[in-house]
Amino acid sequence: MSSIQPPSKPQGVLYLGIDLGTSRTSVSASNGVRETVASYVGYPKDIVARKLLQKDVLFGDEALEKRLSLDFYRPLGHGVIKSGEGGDKNLQAAADLIGEIIRRARPRADELVYAVIGAPAQAQIHSKKAILDAARQHVHSAMICSEPFSVAYGLDMLDDALVIDIGAGTTDFCRMRGTMPEDADQVTNTFAGDHVDEELAKLVRAKYPDVQFTTQMIKQIKEKYSGVAEQMLPVVVQLPVKGKPTSFDITNEIRTACRSIVPPMLDALTELIGNFDPEFQDRLKNRVLLGGGGSMIKGLDLELERQMHERLGGGKVLRVEEPIYGGANGALKIAHDMPAEFWEKLR
């Protein structure tokens, strides 16, 4: 009995899975390296800044810390490269960010670099092209995949599962049914981490009009204290009022802001489950997988289950064990599984 051998992989290739996110960019590499960096890029504003920083470009938390000395960019919005005003600069910043995360994967000089890059489920064609154009400055071959699909692929949840990937710019939904997902299997909305930040800022400002804060301060508070449970430990933070640190209780504001993304999630789940094959709907709603940075909101899985029971008559939500690397891990697995001739065509 003969067997079909899988296509041989070319020698000297480093495979990368990259999760290019609005808030964080992560990579998983076939050499075992895993790295993540905040999606910030900065360039010294003038000769004084250049002398102070001794660098031409800064990334991640270092760029954030030194941003007053920098032309500062968060080049990704809603999971894709920002266009419009400053589009060329955002494109260059995104290309430099991709170059940095690849550098952190430590490719050898003699290796080809093949990368699978995650993008929002319903990213437009021109958005995907912009990502590929940015990536091709640093890799020999690249392809784009849906972020929730890469999460599911990495966990071998390829049939009768519904993946939710909550990032900073978008929340992506993908219905897995044992084949490559089609457009009808995917939904993207912008009720994600940045939306929670905006809602929290509005609520805090409305309750405490004299308080002073920045978007970054709100983001840090959210990441530390986020939760949706009815019973939460009190969230008391110190924020300045005319320069004086002052304590504020924002427990209700945190809960309300984090809960603001749940109704749009239920709408997307209802759509994807409701128009699925009725014979498999129960199986689908009992295999909901929650991933991405937003999945770390405390109690979100239980709150989603509770509301699914009210609206859909049941449901089971599981959390991804590694939300920071779930997309990158899956993208790396896709890269490994792609036939060699596929990569050669892309080159």
pLDDT at 209: 95
Beta strands in the chain (DSSP E): 13-20, 24-29, 34-38, 41-44, 58-59, 70-73, 76-77, 80-81, 112-119, 141-146, 159-166, 171-177, 186-189, 236-241, 244-249, 288-291, 317-319
Q: What is the CATH number of the domain that holds 21?
A: 3.30.420.40
User: Domain check: are 99 and 200 in the same one?
Assistant: no
| 264 within domain boundaries | no
Position 176 pLDDT exceeds 50: yes
| 335 within domain boundaries | yes
What average pLDDT does the structure give for the chain? 91
- Domain end: 203, 235, 259, which one? 259
The model's pLDDT over 307-333, given as tens digits with 9 standing for 90+, comes to 999 999 999 999 998 899 999 999 999
Position 1 pLDDT exceeds 70: no
pLDDT tier for residue 84 given thresholds of 50, 70 and 90 = low
User: Domain check: are 47 and 111 in the same one?
Assistant: yes
The number of distinct structural domains making up the chain is 2
User: Domain check: are 107 and 228 in the same one?
Assistant: no
Position 3 pLDDT exceeds 60: no
Q: What is the distance in angstroms between the CA of the first residue and the CA of the last residue of the chain?
A: 36
| 341 within domain boundaries | yes
User: Domain check: are 48 and 144 in the same one?
Assistant: yes
Candidate from 14-18, 39-43, 130-134, 229-233 with smallest mean pLDDT: 130-134
pLDDT at 195: 96
- Domain end: 242, 259, 276, which one? 259
For 220, the enclosing helix (H) or strand (E) is: helix 215-225
pLDDT at 52: 94
pLDDT tier for residue 189 given thresholds of 50, 70 and 90 = very high
The model's pLDDT over 210-221, given as tens digits with 9 standing for 90+, comes to 999 999 999 999
User: Domain check: are 23 and 131 in the same one?
Assistant: yes
User: Domain check: are 145 and 220 in the same one?
Assistant: no
User: Domain check: are 87 and 148 in the same one?
Assistant: yes
User: Domain check: are 147 and 48 in the same one?
Assistant: yes
pLDDT tier for residue 86 given thresholds of 50, 70 and 90 = low
Give me the domain span that covers residue 34. Answer: 13-152+325-346
- Domain end: 259, 287, 308, which one? 259
| 49 within domain boundaries | yes
pLDDT at 127: 82
Q: What is the pTM of this model?
A: 0.87
Percent of the chain beyond pLDDT 90? 76
pLDDT at 85: 62
pLDDT at 128: 84
Find the mean pLDDT for residues 47-75: 95
Return the structure tokens found at 57. 């470009």
The model's pLDDT over 193-211, given as tens digits with 9 standing for 90+, comes to 999 999 999 999 999 999 9
pLDDT tier for residue 87 given thresholds of 50, 70 and 90 = low
341 or 93: which carries more pLDDT confidence?
93
User: Domain check: are 29 and 102 in the same one?
Assistant: yes
Residues paired with residue 257 on neighbouring β-strands, in sequence order = none
User: Domain check: are 144 and 238 in the same one?
Assistant: no
User: Domain check: are 127 and 250 in the same one?
Assistant: no
Strand order in the sheet with 112-119: 34-38, 24-29, 13-20, 112-119, 141-146
| 97 within domain boundaries | yes
Position 280 pLDDT exceeds 50: yes
